[in-house]
Amino acid sequence: MADLMLVKDEVTDLYKKSEFIFLGPDENTADLMDSAALMLKNKGYEYWKSFTTGKSITYGGIPHDIYGMTTMSVRAYVDGIREKLGLVEE
C-alpha cells in the first residue's frame, strides 16, 4: 500500500496534492507500527509520523499496548487493577 501511495514519475497524479493516509494497528500488530512508520520515512513520505497510531513515543506515537487501546492492553489494565486491589482472578 505504501508503494502505491507514494508519487512516482510513472504514475499519473490526478489529485495533485500530497495524500494523507492513516492506519491504526490491528490485534497483535502493535510491534510492527514503528517499522511501518520508519519504512515510509525512508521512502520519503511526508506524513510518516501520522501514518500509524500505536507506534512508540520516540516516533511521535501513543503506544496502544501501554495506554489501553487494544484488547491486549485492556487486559493488562484489568490485571493491573486486580493486582493493586489484591483481587484473585476467578
Which tens digit of pLDDT belongs to each residue from 26-78? 667 777 888 988 998 998 888 888 887 778 888 887 777 677 666 676 678 78
Q: What is the pLDDT of residue 86?
A: 95
Note whether residue 10 is domain-resident: no
Extract the C-alpha cell encoding 69: 487501546
Note whether residue 12 is domain-resident: no
Q: Which of 78, 75, 70 is nearest to 33 (CA)?
A: 70
Domain that residue 78 falls in: 21-85
Mean pLDDT of 6-34: 72
Note whether residue 67 is domain-resident: yes
Extract the C-alpha cell encoding 24: 491504526
Q: What is the pLDDT of residue 42?
A: 92
Mean pLDDT of 20-30: 71
- How many structural domains does the chain have? 1
pLDDT at 82 exceeding the cut of 80: yes
Note whether residue 15 is domain-resident: no
For CA atoms 9, 11, 14, 19, the dihedral sign is negative
